[in-house]
Homo-oligomer: A and B are copies of this chain.
Amino acid sequence: MPHTYDYPRPALTVDCVIFGLDDEGLKVLLIERGIEPFEGQWAIPGGFVAPGESVDAAAVRELQEETGLKDIYLEQLYTFGEPDRDPREHVVSVAYYALVNLIEHDLEASTDARSAAWFSVDDVPDLAFDHNQIFDMALTRLKGKVRYQPIGFELLPKKFTLTQLQRMYEIILEKPLDKRNFRKKVLSLEILKALNEIEKDVAHRAARLYSFDERAYRRLQRKGVHFAI
Protein backbone atom coordinates (compact mmCIF):
# COMPACT_ATOMS: atom_id res chain seq x y z
CA MET A 1 0.00 0.00 0.00
CA PRO A 2 1.32 3.46 -0.81
CA HIS A 3 1.52 5.88 2.08
CA THR A 4 -1.38 8.28 2.17
CA TYR A 5 0.64 10.59 4.39
CA ASP A 6 3.73 11.04 2.33
CA TYR A 7 6.17 11.72 5.12
CA PRO A 8 9.19 9.67 6.06
CA ARG A 9 8.40 7.90 9.30
CA PRO A 10 10.20 6.11 12.11
CA ALA A 11 10.02 2.32 12.20
CA LEU A 12 7.70 0.80 14.79
CA THR A 13 8.27 -2.27 16.95
CA VAL A 14 6.78 -3.92 20.00
CA ASP A 15 8.89 -5.30 22.84
CA CYS A 16 7.52 -7.57 25.49
CA VAL A 17 8.88 -8.01 29.02
CA ILE A 18 7.69 -11.47 30.04
CA PHE A 19 7.60 -12.18 33.78
CA GLY A 20 7.23 -15.60 35.34
CA LEU A 21 7.25 -16.88 38.90
CA ASP A 22 8.72 -20.16 40.07
CA ASP A 23 9.85 -21.41 43.46
CA GLU A 24 13.15 -19.56 43.12
CA GLY A 25 11.54 -16.18 42.58
CA LEU A 26 10.52 -13.75 39.89
CA LYS A 27 12.00 -14.36 36.44
CA VAL A 28 12.13 -12.59 33.11
CA LEU A 29 12.41 -14.22 29.70
CA LEU A 30 15.28 -12.97 27.54
CA ILE A 31 16.47 -13.99 24.10
CA GLU A 32 19.96 -13.98 22.70
CA ARG A 33 20.18 -11.88 19.57
CA GLY A 34 21.21 -13.75 16.44
CA ILE A 35 21.87 -10.72 14.26
CA GLU A 36 23.49 -7.32 14.40
CA PRO A 37 23.24 -4.93 16.06
CA PHE A 38 24.02 -6.33 19.51
CA GLU A 39 24.53 -9.81 18.07
CA GLY A 40 25.07 -12.35 20.82
CA GLN A 41 23.70 -10.00 23.49
CA TRP A 42 20.58 -10.66 25.54
CA ALA A 43 17.45 -8.69 24.77
CA ILE A 44 13.76 -8.44 25.45
CA PRO A 45 11.79 -10.28 22.76
CA GLY A 46 10.14 -8.05 20.20
CA GLY A 47 9.45 -7.45 16.55
CA PHE A 48 8.11 -5.09 13.95
CA VAL A 49 4.55 -3.88 13.66
CA ALA A 50 3.17 -4.35 10.17
CA PRO A 51 0.81 -1.77 8.68
CA GLY A 52 -2.73 -3.01 9.24
CA GLU A 53 -1.76 -4.97 12.35
CA SER A 54 -2.89 -3.40 15.60
CA VAL A 55 -0.06 -2.72 18.00
CA ASP A 56 -1.76 -4.82 20.68
CA ALA A 57 -2.10 -7.68 18.23
CA ALA A 58 1.58 -7.45 17.38
CA ALA A 59 2.42 -7.80 21.06
CA VAL A 60 0.12 -10.81 21.42
CA ARG A 61 1.72 -12.39 18.37
CA GLU A 62 5.21 -11.74 19.68
CA LEU A 63 4.35 -13.27 23.03
CA GLN A 64 2.86 -16.30 21.35
CA GLU A 65 5.90 -16.78 19.15
CA GLU A 66 8.18 -16.53 22.17
CA THR A 67 6.35 -18.66 24.71
CA GLY A 68 3.86 -20.63 22.67
CA LEU A 69 1.18 -19.38 25.04
CA LYS A 70 -2.09 -17.63 24.36
CA ASP A 71 -4.51 -15.90 26.70
CA ILE A 72 -1.73 -14.45 28.78
CA TYR A 73 -2.04 -11.27 30.80
CA LEU A 74 -0.54 -8.53 28.69
CA GLU A 75 -0.51 -4.81 29.34
CA GLN A 76 0.97 -1.88 27.53
CA LEU A 77 3.81 -0.33 29.49
CA TYR A 78 5.27 2.67 27.71
CA THR A 79 6.46 3.84 24.32
CA PHE A 80 10.17 4.46 23.88
CA GLY A 81 10.87 6.94 21.16
CA GLU A 82 14.39 8.35 21.41
CA PRO A 83 15.92 8.52 17.93
CA ASP A 84 19.24 7.00 19.01
CA ARG A 85 17.87 3.94 20.81
CA ASP A 86 18.61 1.85 17.72
CA PRO A 87 22.01 2.60 16.15
CA ARG A 88 20.77 2.15 12.59
CA GLU A 89 17.76 4.40 12.37
CA HIS A 90 14.90 5.82 14.38
CA VAL A 91 12.89 2.89 15.73
CA VAL A 92 10.04 3.63 18.11
CA SER A 93 9.10 0.75 20.37
CA VAL A 94 5.82 0.21 22.17
CA ALA A 95 6.73 -1.89 25.22
CA TYR A 96 4.38 -4.34 26.94
CA TYR A 97 4.73 -6.61 29.90
CA ALA A 98 3.23 -10.05 30.34
CA LEU A 99 2.65 -12.30 33.34
CA VAL A 100 2.82 -16.04 32.87
CA ASN A 101 2.42 -18.86 35.29
CA LEU A 102 5.57 -20.95 35.26
CA ILE A 103 4.22 -23.45 37.76
CA GLU A 104 1.54 -24.83 35.48
CA HIS A 105 3.26 -24.21 32.14
CA ASP A 106 6.77 -25.54 32.33
CA LEU A 107 8.54 -23.31 29.83
CA GLU A 108 12.12 -24.22 30.75
CA ALA A 109 12.99 -25.22 27.25
CA SER A 110 11.50 -22.37 25.32
CA THR A 111 10.10 -22.44 21.87
CA ASP A 112 11.90 -21.64 18.68
CA ALA A 113 15.45 -21.91 17.42
CA ARG A 114 16.73 -18.76 19.04
CA SER A 115 18.31 -19.20 22.42
CA ALA A 116 15.97 -18.06 25.17
CA ALA A 117 16.32 -18.26 28.94
CA TRP A 118 14.68 -17.20 32.17
CA PHE A 119 16.75 -14.82 34.30
CA SER A 120 16.12 -13.86 37.88
CA VAL A 121 14.99 -10.23 37.92
CA ASP A 122 17.79 -9.53 40.38
CA ASP A 123 20.36 -10.79 37.95
CA VAL A 124 19.57 -9.32 34.55
CA PRO A 125 22.64 -8.85 32.33
CA ASP A 126 23.49 -5.87 30.12
CA LEU A 127 20.83 -5.88 27.46
CA ALA A 128 20.73 -4.69 23.87
CA PHE A 129 19.38 -1.25 22.91
CA ASP A 130 17.67 0.54 25.82
CA HIS A 131 16.22 -2.73 27.04
CA ASN A 132 17.56 -2.40 30.58
CA GLN A 133 15.55 0.79 30.86
CA ILE A 134 12.46 -0.95 29.52
CA PHE A 135 12.94 -3.86 31.90
CA ASP A 136 13.39 -1.53 34.88
CA MET A 137 10.21 0.30 34.06
CA ALA A 138 8.31 -2.96 33.69
CA LEU A 139 9.51 -4.22 37.05
CA THR A 140 8.65 -0.91 38.72
CA ARG A 141 5.20 -1.02 37.15
CA LEU A 142 4.62 -4.57 38.28
CA LYS A 143 5.68 -3.79 41.84
CA GLY A 144 3.45 -0.76 41.93
CA LYS A 145 0.43 -2.28 40.30
CA VAL A 146 0.35 -5.62 42.10
CA ARG A 147 -0.71 -3.91 45.32
CA TYR A 148 -3.76 -2.23 43.83
CA GLN A 149 -4.91 -4.57 41.12
CA PRO A 150 -5.36 -8.32 41.25
CA ILE A 151 -2.80 -9.02 38.54
CA GLY A 152 -0.56 -11.13 40.75
CA PHE A 153 -2.94 -14.06 40.32
CA GLU A 154 -1.74 -14.31 36.72
CA LEU A 155 1.60 -15.55 38.03
CA LEU A 156 0.01 -18.39 40.00
CA PRO A 157 -1.81 -21.56 38.96
CA LYS A 158 -5.59 -21.32 38.77
CA LYS A 159 -5.83 -23.13 42.09
CA PHE A 160 -3.43 -21.96 44.76
CA THR A 161 -2.94 -21.97 48.51
CA LEU A 162 -2.93 -18.87 50.65
CA THR A 163 0.72 -19.51 51.39
CA GLN A 164 1.55 -19.50 47.69
CA LEU A 165 -0.36 -16.24 47.32
CA GLN A 166 1.44 -14.69 50.25
CA ARG A 167 4.81 -15.83 48.93
CA MET A 168 4.07 -14.27 45.54
CA TYR A 169 3.42 -10.91 47.19
CA GLU A 170 6.48 -11.23 49.37
CA ILE A 171 8.67 -11.92 46.34
CA ILE A 172 7.32 -9.06 44.26
CA LEU A 173 7.11 -6.51 47.04
CA GLU A 174 10.41 -7.70 48.51
CA LYS A 175 9.20 -7.62 52.07
CA PRO A 176 7.83 -10.17 54.51
CA LEU A 177 4.13 -10.17 55.30
CA ASP A 178 2.46 -11.31 58.49
CA LYS A 179 0.64 -14.58 57.91
CA ARG A 180 -2.42 -13.91 60.04
CA ASN A 181 -2.87 -10.35 58.87
CA PHE A 182 -2.37 -11.37 55.27
CA ARG A 183 -5.05 -14.07 55.45
CA LYS A 184 -7.46 -11.80 57.28
CA LYS A 185 -6.94 -9.15 54.62
CA VAL A 186 -7.27 -11.23 51.47
CA LEU A 187 -10.21 -13.21 52.77
CA SER A 188 -11.99 -10.04 53.85
CA LEU A 189 -11.72 -8.75 50.28
CA GLU A 190 -14.09 -11.54 49.23
CA ILE A 191 -12.48 -12.05 45.87
CA LEU A 192 -11.24 -15.57 46.57
CA LYS A 193 -13.35 -18.65 46.04
CA ALA A 194 -12.56 -21.32 48.64
CA LEU A 195 -12.49 -24.64 46.82
CA ASN A 196 -13.38 -27.98 48.35
CA GLU A 197 -9.96 -29.22 47.45
CA ILE A 198 -6.61 -29.45 49.11
CA GLU A 199 -3.11 -29.55 47.67
CA LYS A 200 -1.59 -32.94 46.85
CA ASP A 201 1.74 -34.67 47.46
CA VAL A 202 3.02 -32.57 50.29
CA ALA A 203 4.85 -34.02 53.27
CA HIS A 204 2.76 -32.16 55.80
CA ARG A 205 -0.78 -31.02 56.37
CA ALA A 206 -2.29 -30.18 52.99
CA ALA A 207 -3.53 -26.62 52.56
CA ARG A 208 -6.89 -25.59 51.19
CA LEU A 209 -6.97 -24.42 47.58
CA TYR A 210 -8.49 -21.16 46.45
CA SER A 211 -9.15 -19.52 43.11
CA PHE A 212 -9.47 -15.89 42.14
CA ASP A 213 -13.12 -14.95 41.70
CA GLU A 214 -13.00 -12.44 38.89
CA ARG A 215 -16.77 -12.02 38.87
CA ALA A 216 -16.78 -11.05 42.53
CA TYR A 217 -13.87 -8.70 41.96
CA ARG A 218 -15.67 -6.86 39.17
CA ARG A 219 -18.81 -6.62 41.25
CA LEU A 220 -16.89 -5.00 44.08
CA GLN A 221 -15.06 -2.72 41.69
CA ARG A 222 -18.34 -1.41 40.34
CA LYS A 223 -19.42 -0.73 43.92
CA GLY A 224 -16.30 1.40 44.31
CA VAL A 225 -14.59 -1.01 46.69
CA HIS A 226 -10.86 -0.91 46.14
CA PHE A 227 -8.49 -3.84 46.19
CA ALA A 228 -5.24 -3.33 48.06
CA ILE A 229 -2.64 -5.52 49.73
Contact = CB atoms under 8 A, between A and B. Distances in A.
A25 B177 CA distance: 43
A11 B5 contact: yes
6 tightest A-B contacts by CB? A55-B81, A4-B88, A4-B89, A51-B90, A79-B79, A52-B83
A9 B11 contact: yes
Given A12-B10, A54-B82, A1 B89 contact: yes
Contacts of A7: 11, 48, 50
A10 B89 CA distance: 16
Interface in A20-64: 48-56, 58
A99 interface: no
A189 to B, nearest CB: 20
A55 B80 CA distance: 8
Interface of A: 1, 3-5, 7-12, 48-56, 58, 76, 78-79, 81-83, 88-92, 94
7 contacts: A3-B11, A5-B89, A9-B10, A9-B11, A10-B12, A55-B92, A58-B81
Contacts of A56: 81-82
A92 to B, nearest CB: 6
A89 B55 contact: no
A134 to B, nearest CB: 13
